Amino acid sequence: MKTTIILADDHQIFRDGIKSLLSDESNLEIIGEASNGDELLSLLKTISPDILILDVTMPKITGIELTKIITQQYPGIKILILSMHKNEEYVINAMINGAKGYLPKDTSRKELLDAISSISNGEEYLGKLISSSILKSYIKKSYSGFDRLDKDEQLTSREKEIIELIGKGYSNKEIADKLFISVRTVDSHKNHIMCKLKLRTTAELIIYGIKNKIIEIE
């Protein structure tokens, strides 16, 4: 079964570039395009993709706002942000509002395909972009929404090890390889951690790890 994709970016040449990059992938199919937020929301009333590749800087409605709206109205659509903005506030805001992945526009074809594959399989894709380094300045700012993360929870040494590796930007498969366990076991550990800490996103998990000194900031 093919993974269906909609591209939303205000530059036709960029959409054409992504289509070209994905054209040889027999398991992927681009089923629609939009150049602004209104077009996208109108399009989603008629077709529903598995993945939406979305820019942050969009006319009329920003990509972050669209992410929040679409996550609420169409929870089955997984959103991958592809943006020229690399600073931590854009990344964190996107993930908090429901994006499943975030990549810079100068990413490689391989990483784009890795991100699509991971998101299709139910993972969040943060790659090496979201890590302790990109959260370093953000975590020092006061953000009341994360006060509830400063809990003294009992985590096992394995759970802490997994949080640390997530904070370094490793994918579930890379974590599995490093710890000599299956990807399914990594998924199970991560889900258990998220439930235990009452967290919603990997971004929140990384912030928890930094605040509780599980993830070290260099």
Domain residue spans of the chain: 3-120, 132-211
pLDDT in the model for residue 120: 93
Supply 184's token pair: 């399914």
pTM: 0.74
Q: What CA–CA distance (Å, rounded) separates 9 from 86?
A: 17
Do the first three CATH levels of 3-120 and 132-211 match, i.e. the same topology? yes
Burial class (CB in 10 A: 0-12, 13-18, 19+), 76: exposed
Q: Which residues pair with 197 in a beta bridge?
A: none
Q: pLDDT digit of tens for each residue in the chain (218 aa)? A: 899 999 999 999 999 999 999 988 999 999 999 999 999 999 999 999 999 999 998 888 899 999 999 999 999 999 999 988 877 778 878 888 889 999 988 888 998 999 999 899 888 887 666 554 455 555 555 344 444 455 556 889 999 999 999 887 788 888 999 999 999 999 999 999 999 888 888 878 887 887 788 877 65
| CA 59 to centroid of chain Cα atoms | 22
CATH topology of domain 132-211: Rossmann fold (3.40.50)
* CATH entry 2.40.50.140 includes domain 3-120: no
